[in-house]
Structure 1
């Protein structure tokens, strides 16, 4: 047996029979072929940094780490494309892309993840015109459940039109590792650039009053609400010289906490010394923040004394991935608003999360694939117009269920197949 594996937050733990660290796609294919020979479902699960808070990677058989499949293979500043290996950490990827004069369009709040895991779970940053990381994957290769390497997207000659591509590309963009193991990713990138980051502390009322203008005038804007003080931290990220005039300067309780400029991959992520549990739901963008206001009142009424962290609000552009929680069809192309509850992993979180989750659901919210939620497969199927298309492609790519652990089997309703 391999060593026990525990995720980043400490809430998911299991012991695989073996932990594999392939160095190339041929070795990945060999792992899958051996699993097929044992005729055991859910025998192989890929894992990146283990940042997910749900048991996506759990297996009692082969856990496949892609840590040795790391680095930028090539990048073309003219075509604005880069080919990278799946185990590349986001923390390393930015500097490696910068050597070619290119950069990711956006990044998430933290950069602990490996690129394949971040894309496969729909990881995102903030910005109403900026898609999640998955939307930047325009091609790649994966080893399917038959041990075959399959190209998709631009790697298969399929050029996306109007932002969308083939069904296989759209399935692979957010796949939860259920189609196969990614061995190469082709990303849409842009010219390397600097960002000016300003973090303002102000009262939450100022944010609520000015929210729409803040969203519209910043390249990227998000805010944290601090339940115990009713203050907020507003983070604005813009290219130097493109900063808007609107700031809370001069408002009561307001001050500039951080003001820095640097490469986007250094300026966007936050350092997280403390580990945490998180629940995040994706809702239709609403400049009146109705869902947030309801969450705020519930927290102030019932949970203020026990909440150690803040509530985070972000935005994401609509995309075309089949089971992306920012997918355009579900909301008629309306951008997405996300609300995240964070709690120190050493403090109780379940009562708090369970009490707030029905509010998210009442606004037709969809949970982040890699974070805490209680939704079951049948409930989730109703939230995704192309759910059955994804299931069909999943079965084509993995007909024997090599990649289906118990969690994914329930999720996709494959218990009896």
Structure 2
């Protein structure tokens, strides 16, 4: 698809051509056109005209993903012009939210209804469509990923048709849509479970890393949210907990020096960490019982091979099992181990050297982060992969939403 054809084909929506960069700067490409529809009607027309030109379309939200999921030489579809926020009054503990709504804005929208998300990840720069489409998660026993909280989606297919998928009428189709990588259609709205809004207390304190591992299960049992960071160069750790202020078990095993952070605020603000620096990341989900052993091997390898350039921390979290076909936590409680590296430092060889450890422990990679697993070796780790692929074939038989990376990833 050449540039002038793309612009002509998509003249129903605001469009431009420019080199596109993801959040970390590790991914850059130049699509033929960037389409910015301002309504669902415009979105439908964009997709119909892209189909007429046999163009690949990749939807993009905030561009927080480190993996090349959105890369395309054809049409990059931005959702920022579509309706955001809470789209209709919430009911029965569920709310319809615009797919392009950024997570850092969603908390404020929900608070107007005295509601909150059940959980959030470590950062909140993503659009909710991208967050659920890749299995983004927080940490806590009994708390699954954001995708697992989704009870319905509205999407536009490659043919430009409107489709609503929900748990009541087609739960199996929803299990495919909960973590879809943007290959089933373009999400316009997401129905997610919500909880009454609450004030939460966030604490953080330093501990030896071995003590974090030894006490992690006990802390999971009494705290709503718990995780820890390990700092390779210092070889120490910071433990973090978040609890409702009216159901707070209080700090445990805090050293005499006290907490390095102790603050109270709305739950969405307490769950995330603001950062000015940007980073590259790889992350794997391993079965929860394998978490400590896997972490110890990762720690040993970083200390013996990479400590001189491993400038960033390693994050250890817990995610409850769910039923989404492509969820890395499918049918198993998981420990996730995230390796970060500053955006200005080398990272690919570093990440690749740790990957065999994750794979040996039964790991599944986070879809939005950097990894080398593709095709059959990747899909073999997902018992319902073929069911997902059957849904994909049904909704997008012409493979309009597949770029080269996704074709390799999904063995297509």
Q: Same fold (TM over 0.5)?
A: yes
Q: Deviations over 1:154-190 (max 9, x none)?
A: 5xx52xxxxxx62211111000000010011111111
Aligned to 2:19: 4
Consecutive unaligned residues in structure 1, runs of 5 or more: 159-164, 329-333
Q: CA deviation at 1:241?
A: 3.5
* Aligned residue pairs, count: 396
Matched, 1:68 2:81: yes
**50, 53, 56: which one aligns with 1:38:** 53
- Alignment partner of 2:87: what SS? strand
Q: CA deviation at 1:268?
A: 1.0
Q: CA deviation at 1:209?
A: 2.2
Comparing both chains, which one has the higher relative contact order based on Cα–Cα distances under 8 Å and sequence gaps of 6 or more? Answer: 1
> Is residue 202–residue 255 contact of structure 1 (8 Å, CA) maintained in 2?
no
**38, 43, 48: which one aligns with 1:28:** 43
Q: Deviations over 1:178-211 (max 9, x none)?
A: 0010011111111111111001112112212212
Aligned to 1:93: 106
Consecutive unaligned residues in structure 2, runs of 5 or more: 4-16
Q: Quick one: distance in 1 between partners of 2:355 and 2:27? A: 20
Matched, 1:275 2:278: yes
Q: Quick one: distance in 1 between partners of 2:387 and 2:400? A: 19
- Alignment partner of 1:241: what SS? helix
Q: Quick one: distance in 1 between partners of 2:85 and 2:254? A: 42
> Is residue 200–residue 248 contact of structure 1 (8 Å, CA) maintained in 2?
no
Q: Deviations over 1:306-339 (max 9, x none)?
A: 11101100011101101000111xxxxx311100
Q: How does 1:186-335 map to 2 (within 5 A)?
A: 186-245=191-250, 247-250=252-255, 255-286=258-289, 289-328=292-331, 334-335=332-333
Which stretches of structure 1, 4 residues or more, deviate above 4 A after TM superposition?
none
Q: Quick one: distance in 1 between partners of 2:212 and 2:251? A: 11
Q: CA deviation at 1:288?
A: 6.7
Q: CA deviation at 1:408?
A: 1.0
Return the TM-score normalized by structure 1: 0.92
> Is residue 115–residue 194 contact of structure 2 (8 Å, CA) maintained in 1?
yes
Aligned to 2:8: none
> Is residue 290–residue 361 contact of structure 2 (8 Å, CA) maintained in 1?
no
Aligned to 2:6: none
> Is residue 21–residue 68 contact of structure 1 (8 Å, CA) maintained in 2?
yes
Question: Over the residues paired in the alignment, what is the CA RMSD in angstroms?
Answer: 1.4
